Structure 1
């Protein structure tokens, strides 16, 4: 299966580079992250095309067959066009349909100055602070399992950093990470942002813009990136931040999921 979506193509590149597996079934891909089974978008299926009318529940069933122990459902579709009837059928099956914007930039505008330290995460305490931030902004039914998930995601990113593919920047206040953004190379000249997160108590202070800008400049100046890729929900605060930094809408990315009592963070 050839993946045409820039959003999913860069997702898959980073997942496989950090230890996930991808099984090609012809009509769809099965993506697994055995080391982090509660990582929703590390354990999902990606369809080449939307299902035929009436096939939506069959798709959900296919996910259940592939991931019988999962407490979530995550299904991507490589083409963003979904008929109103298909959307309604997926929603009737209990899924939230999210069509996000994939934005790109070749250079960035400088954001306003912030009164906080902006630097790459380095120590184990930095990374543990980042894990606590993830738990604080994205609620799940089981906080301890979410902390395990966040720590597992840290391990995956640290592997990418050790491979020289990028880094994660943090904005620190009183030695705690209150905003963060990562960027990693996915193919020649392309770098993808990952998980832009800001603590609820520190929003609207320019911190997310500072983190994204620092990570983006690092990619352009040190990773040989010519195109920066970031993904955002249309109705969230993040997309406005990215556009003000110089990102422009490039395509759409279709994702369907059933979560367990979560509040979405700013994802890149």
Structure 2
């Protein structure tokens, strides 16, 4: 796998949309087709779009992703998409590396659609991707502003790469690094995984956090997360100017995020960084 490098990315060739859902195939800077779905705000036109980055083995049509999108749509327009190697998107998963280019395509699409304020929320692998996207903002698009994010919420994300301290993470590493594991991922979980190692290793989430300011950042984590213990969110929050929510009784990522928590995240995203809102 190769990390995203500096350079220009391709504008998604899609026109502004009329009210109503719209499903399209975007194309990333490195040529991967990415399925994406736009849903207008249920409350009426809004300047804000929330772009949702799912976890590993997720996809735009997975029930937990659709549920989160439905809650967020009470507050803003919503774009969901399937990372490369997931759902109907092309390519193969690089487990958080080149997925940052998939997020760039989705954020840019939101701005093409006319949204002047675009915010990102990511879960697990998607949580690490939204952190890197915000940190690498300028280098991803040569100083252009179409792909920037105005606020970031990272849910159930790792702080560091190669973590194997829990049984679920040891199983995940087996699936990613072994031929038989990748076969299980493809057949059983409908996730196509790239066989090559990272080269070079991408910026870690904890190293990305200091580069995000002044963009507002929220870190959310469950105290019963079976994948990443609480030292991960605490490391992320301590690395920069981030607000930390530790959620009692919550497990991992979008499957464990209840509607009440999703509502609070949406409310935070809607106000973070706006004039007069104070520190998020």
Q: Same fold (TM over 0.5)?
A: no
TM-score of the superposed pair, with normalisation by structure 1: 0.28
Higher alpha-carbon Rg: 1
Q: Greater strand share, 1 or 2?
A: 1
